[in-house]
Amino acid sequence: MLDWSKQFNICCFMDSNEYAASYTRYEALLAAGVVSELLPDTTGNGAPDSLTQLQAFHRHVKDWIFGHLGYDLKNELYPLTSTHPDGIAFPNLYFFQPEVVLLVLPGVVQIGGWNYQEADARKVYDACMRTPITTGGIPPLRRTLQSPFDHADYTGRVKALQAHIHRGDCYEINFCREHFLPDIALNPYSLFQRLNAFSPAPFAAFYRLRNQYLACASPERFVQQTGRQVISQPIKGTIRRGNSVAEEDRLKALLRNSAKERAENIMVVDLVRNDLTPTASRGSVAVTELCGIYTFAQVHHMISTVQAMLAPGQDFTDIIRHAFPMGSMTGAPKLRVMQLIEQYESSKRGLFSGALGYVTPGGDMDFNVVIRSMLYNASEQYLSFTTGSAITFRSDPEQEWEECLLKASAMRKVLEG
């Protein structure tokens, strides 16, 4: 499917990597080609209401739509601005109605498209089956990754953020650091294939928007809506994998019993409950799992699940309007920490810590959190990935630095061969 999609300059491939997680709908899905698209105009006077335009776009096409929400969509939802450099330059919001959609379920693939008949679907299936599978390599990286600030600067900024916590400005803040390489030529498809093989994740994705690319190995779901049921599954709490069964058990127990990690997770759960409440039926918001421990290729994570029932008269854009950006990538209280993020970070997050996903013809949706991801602008030959961690009262700046390096390890190994 992915190799076949190379003929299209806009496509979105999502892979669950056979994680048998709750709420998983498809083993994989692909949207390719464009029938119509939404790119809100941000050049006029006043802030555009991109989510209202998204709602109107979906109601007009009455079809599948795929696309993304960039982190700086926040500037429409809150009284915020962003002035940092952005080497990738994905738009703040983009969605497309695809020419063809392929849905992979156990033992079957469903294929549909704009005005498709069965013969059209069979042609796509046959073309996919005939497409040679490529495993293009990436030349080993022989250059040093760059960053806007180094170790000493990072720990200094963490201490400054903790001073804000001590003053009562906030309780928890997600602080991030970009890694980038300018003037680098590479194959984005090979980049994703290597990342997905090295660090398979339940919300992995490859996304192409003409000359901008995303290779994503995300373990986190932002929000899913199925009928009236809405769930969000924030991640907070990370520890490395062990080298033996005994060490694995010890590390998972350390994570499960860590007062700091549990405090991070519970604070974000409270924020998610607050975010889902405005669009939920009264009394329907509930935490169905708190601080569960889940294992991934490189790390163990602490994940919680918050569920709600959508109130009458609300739709998917209303949920996004109140819940975006996701609390796991901001902190609490949300507005104040987003101001501090702008003050202490040095790069625009862009698509990183935004969301990628789809909306079905009936208005159901599923979006991931864009983390553990590599972004590439082929026109500028600029490669970027960002890592972060949650800063709290109990944080040790050196340990936060080590957590960022741990999260970056898979992507560094992909680049370094």
pTM over 0.85: yes
- Considering 74, 236, 252, 348, which one is annotated as catalytic? 236
Active site residue 220: yes
Half-sphere exposure of 300 (CA within 13 A, CB side): 20
Tell me what pLDDT residue 133 has. Answer: 84
Q: Residue 226's pLDDT is what?
A: 97
Nearest CA to 306 out of 366, 372, 224 is that of: 224
Q: Which fold has domain 4-222+317-416?
A: Anthranilate synthase (3.60.120)
Distance of CA 268 to the CA centre of its chain: 16
- What is the per-residue DSSP string for 126-151? HHHHHSPP-----PPP-SPPB-SS-H
- Residue 364, pLDDT above cutoff 60: yes
Which residues contact residue 156 at a Cβ distance below 8 angstroms, ignoring those fewer than 6 apart?
none
What mean pLDDT, rounded, does the chain reach?
93
The single residue of 99, 172, 178, 220 carrying the catalytic annotation is 220
Tell me the C-alpha distance between 81 and 77, whole Å: 11
- Average pLDDT, stretch 3-26? 92
Q: Which helix (H) or strand (E) holds 320?
A: helix 316-323
Q: Evaluate whether 345 touches 86 at the Cβ level (below 8 Å).
A: no
pLDDT > 80? residue 48: no
CB atoms closer than 10 angstroms to residue 362 = 9
Q: How many CA atoms lie within 13 A of 67 on its CB side?
A: 25
Dump pLDDT digits (tens) for 328-344.
999 999 999 999 999 99
Is a pLDDT exceeding 70 seen at residue 44? no
